[in-house]
Structure formats: C-alpha cells, structure tokens
Amino acid sequence: MVLEQIDGPADLRALPDEELPLLAEDLRQAIVEAVAKVGGHLGSNLGGVELTIALHRVFESPRDLIVWDTGHQAYVHKMLTGRRDAFGALRQAGGLSGYPSRAESAHDVVENSHASTALSWVSGLARGQAELPAEDRRRLVAVVGDGALTGGMAYEALNNLGHHQQPAIIVLNDNGRSYAETVSRLSERVADLRSDPRYRTFKDRIDTALSRLPFVERLTEAGLEAIKSAVSEAPALQSFVEALGVRYLGPYDGHDLAKLEHALRHAARLQTPVLVHVLTQKGKGYAPAETDPEKKLHDTSAFDVETGRANGGDSGPSWTSVFSASLLEVAEEREGLVAITAAMPGSTGLLPLASRHPGRVLDVGIAEQHAVTAAAGMAHAGKLPVVALYSTFFSRAFDQANLDVGLHDEHVVFVLDRAGITGDDGPSHHGILDLGLSLRIASSTVLAPSCAEDVDALLRTALELQGPVFLRFPKGRAVTTEQLGLDPDAEVAGLAARRLRDGADVCVLAIGDRVLPSLEAAALLAADGFDAEVWDVRSVRPADATMLAAAAEAPLVVTVENGLVGGGGGAELADRLVERAGVRHAPPVLRLGVPATYLPHGAPDRILAEIGLDAAGIAAATRKALTDDR
C-alpha cells in the first residue's frame, strides 16, 4: 500500500504524482475499514480525500495552520500526519479522538466539532500575527464545509476577514450537505455553481437544482422558469463573497488533484482573504455511502463493509425513535404543531413527520440561534413549536431561549436528545450543560423521562403547559417500565414524581436515565443494611410537592443526575428542600453528577462508571455519606 509509505506530510510531498491516485484509494479503504469496526464519521471523510492530500502537499503543516470546520472531516488529515496505525482505536477510550486534538498532534489546531467557527479562528490568528515580520507569519487555512456556511457566525467572520483584509485561505468543501441536505439560499446558489456546464448537461443542472430544495413540497412552488433563472445566476456566490472583500476562486473539481494543487498554490500567493470553492462528492468511492439518500453515511455505528448496514446491537428502541413515534402521533392530534431542527432532521427523529407532513418540519441549517427565536415567533403567532436539538448544541442558543422565549413566556417545547454523557465523540458532544442552562431560565419547566413510556407521557404534558418547556433524554437504548419494575399500564398524572422504593435511611432523588442505576444502587445498599427510598423525579422544575415532603423528612437526601452537578438538577431540588423545610431543618443533600471538567471520549457506560454515576458509584458515595462521622 502506498499509504504505508506516508508517516508525515514531508513523505506526501515527496510522493511521485503518479502514485497519488493509489494513495487516495488506500485512504478510502483504510477509512471504511476503520469506521466499520468502531463507528464514526464516514461520508465527509471519503469525499475529502483528494482535497486533504492537496492541502498537505501545498502547505507545510504544522508551521502552516489548517483549521477544520467541522473537525469530523479530519480523518484523512490524521492519517497523513503520523496517526495511520492508531486508527484501530478510533473514538475508543485512550485512542484517537474523532476530531482534531492538540493532545495528539502539533498538526491539530482546533478541536472544532461545533460548526461555523473556523473563519473566526483564522481571523483571530491573522490578527495575532499581523505585527510579525512577513517571513515569520504562518499561512492560515480554514477548511469549511458548505453546511457550516448556514451558521451566522461564519458570515460575521467573512465580513471581518474582508473588511480588515486579513490574509487567509478559505477552502469551501462543497458537498451539498451538513448532516442532511444543506439548507440556505446561499447554498442554493452554490448548487447553481455545481450545475455549471463545464460539469453537467442542462438536464443534470435542473435535476440538481431541484434536489437541493429542502423538502418535496417546495418543488410544486418552484416553477421551471425560476429554476432556469437560478441556474443562470451561477456567479451569485462569487458576487456575495467579493462584496465582502474576499477574493473568489473556483469552482474546482474536488477530486482532481492536479487542479486542486494549482488552485491552492495560486491562493497561497495572494496576500488577501480568498475563498477557494471546491466541489466534492460526499461518500465517494464507497457505494453504500454514495447511495444513502438521507445523509450519505455522514455518521454511523459499526457496520458491515460489504453492505454498509449497521451491525446488530442491543434489542429495543432508542430514546430517539420513541420520541419520533410519539411526535408523529401527537402531530396528528394537533394541527398547529411544527417541528424545528438545525440540519439534523434524521438524527433527531423528525424524518417520519417530515415524510408525512413536510410542511410541518422546518430545517433551518446549522443555525440554532435562528431556530429558537423563530420558534418564539411561531408560538406568538399561534403555532406549537417543538425544537429538536442535541443537548450539546442547545448551548449555542441559550441567549435566545432565555430572552426570546423565556422573557416573553412563549410556549416552545425543547426536546434535547443525547442529554448526558454521550461517549464516543468526546468533550464537545457530552450533553451535560442543558440542565443547568434550562434551569437558569426563570419561566422554564424541565422534564426528564426515566423510561420509554414516559417520553410520550411527558411530551404530551409539555404540549399542554405554558412558557418554555424542556424535555431531555440520553443517547442509546431506552429503558422500559419493566426494567424499573413498574406496571406499564399504571399512568402517572402530569408532573407527579414516582416513589419506586420505600426506605428510612436515605432518600434518593434520581433524574432521568439515572433512575435505573439508582434502583440498582438501593439494592446494593440493602445488602449492607441500609434502607434507601428512591424517587423518579420526572419533573425537575416544578418539583413534586409530595416528593419534597418525603425527602424533607429523610436523614439524608442524595440527588443523582446525568449532567453537570454544579447548578444542575440536584442544586434545584436542594434549593426547593430548603424553601420547604427551612435552612436549619432541611436534611443534608449529597449531589451526584458530572464534574466540571472536559471528559474525553470513551464508551458512555465506562465514563459514567469512572465518575461514579453507575449503580456501584452511587451506592459507594451514599454509603460513605451514611457512615461519615465527621
């Protein structure tokens, strides 16, 4: 394999041109084999092989700085910078991160797993070295997926780069998708450029322009003349960026190495901000990715290489699929319900609703801030918006949730998927901030189902309430009422908590997915002679009065949450106990949760055990508190 000859960028630059296509084949094969074993981001890395080769042949990393936006497209970069043999442990505890990592290599500048930030990074880097002698300045490259251009922060940075004429090379890796198909008017113009006659026939251009529209119903509204007009306005992207003071080069075939190297060398000679527009095919070279209609195998669990199908996992539905089915059902009952997401309709479970009612699902692109404020406007206009986001991405829209939704007490339901420790994607993707953030919004209701059946029950309750309502659940397989020892036909009304176990020595208030391990911890404590009462909190705010009354009588209260412990759900419940019993009479509270640190990637269960949030850890912390004589 040619890839075995490459231990760093210097080896790549020395490689004869005729061996580069073989290297590209080796890289694609290595990526497919590695991701098939452990899961990861596939489609974008397959599409960016030639582009990454060209970047490392033209620029001299790590002296020259390459920033990836987002970092999930950096697998090839890692293989070409000395980490080829470590891919067997990709996204595994102690192994390679799925994103750039300064701890791994000097070639990695920014971890950058939240989109639309790279242009601001290079703007800051340019400003930081502006006073250095020219020979000491490093060349700055931002590799930006077209999905990242749907985020407003990218436009802000473009404006500043152009206004201050900061020398930087912006490589627009245009594959037409972020997670799902890219959604923006600018992206439609980018799509026009992809339809240039140098690349496609006129019929192909029309087909491409049509396919880029976000949902099927828009096709009926877009007449053929409008599409022809759009195609004829192909220079719109060039006009847009050059109006901001940024030079435009392209578009270039992102799989033609010779043309890519020529374009990048030309851009490097310009001492101005310049955008190099590169057209790539997401999933290139691997048929199951090329033909995946939803997201070109953007991200995937471990899979069979021959078919591209995910390997069989644990039986039972995921939390996401449970929510998806419930949302579809309640949408049939409520005509005003509208679901909103930020470039992730599939990952957040909205595709079934979009398929049945396309006009009731809005994908705003990678624009969480806009999604939330638009939801506030929809609520004020009489709609019932459900904003479905990953917990980690909600932090990007906290100001809008607080002031546009909360301050105006608009009824917006936030459904936060992947809440808590998520594992394989590392510190940027753990959903540990949402409890603390949502509880800072004065008018918020915060709900945490402990089992699949409660997802439906609490979603229906959330839709009946007023003001901002948050519903959070974790990644993975959903817990069932049977696992909790509950009667599946026994319903709990509204926001009431559940007493799952009686006990006189300690009262455990468990939130969301920590209910099952708290029950298991109670069994471990019972073996040591300690009798633990366990409650399923269900509603963190407002907390159930009956539960608080019971906890106020306990000699010790333990709160357990899969979220940041400081200012989180446990702190909220402890405050409510003090309000109820008084400062001098409230019981002591031991709060268990995620510590304030950046936790590395690894399997979620392993991480939860390491930080004491599995059954053994909860039991150990509670036992220590019960036997502490200090």
DSSP string, 365-428: -S-HHHHHHHHHHHHHTT-EEEEEEEHHHHGGGHHIIIIIIITTT---EEEEES-B---TT-TT
For residue 205, pLDDT over 90 is answered with no
Distance CA 248, CA 516 (A): 56
Distance CA 578, CA 558 (A): 14
In the annotation, is 309 catalytic? Answer: no
What is the rounded radius of gyration, in angstroms, for the C-alpha atoms of the chain? 26
d(CA 494, CA 446): 13
| DSSP 8-class letter at 270 | -
Dihedral angle sign, alpha carbons of residues 316, 320, 323, 325: negative
| Dihedral sign, Cα of residue 597, residue 600, residue 601, residue 607 | negative
Q: Please give the helix or strand (H or E) that residue 45 lies within, else none.
A: helix 43-47
Catalytic site residue from 28, 84, 91, 396: 396
- CA atoms of 447 and 470, how far apart (whole Å): 6
pLDDT given for residue 74 in this prediction? 93
pLDDT range class, residue 340, cuts 50, 70, 90 = very high
- Interstrand relation of 445-447 and 532-536 (parallel, antiparallel or unpaired): unpaired
Mean pLDDT, residues 280-309: 89
High-pLDDT (> 70) share of the chain, %: 90
C-beta atoms surrounding 80 within 10 Å: 26
Catalytic site residue from 50, 181, 368, 533: 368
Burial of 333 (0-12, 13-18, 19+ CB in 10 A): exposed
In terms of Cα–Cα distance, which of 458, 380, 373, 379 is closest to 415? 458
pLDDT at 184: 53
pLDDT tens, 48-78? 999 999 999 999 999 999 999 988 999 999 9
As a whole number, the mean pLDDT across the chain is 90
Residue 99, SS3? coil
Q: Is 453 a catalytic residue?
A: no
Does 344 score more than 70 pLDDT?
A: yes
pLDDT of residue 331: 98
From 282, 296, 383, 591, active-site residue: 282
User: How many Å separate Cα 537 from the centre of its chain?
Assistant: 27
pLDDT above 80: residue 579: yes
Annotated catalytic residue 282: yes
- Give yes or no for residue 234 having a pLDDT over 50: no
Q: Which domains, ranges and CATH numbers included, belong to the chain?
A: 2-300 (3.40.50.970), 319-472 (3.40.50.970), 498-627 (3.40.50.920)
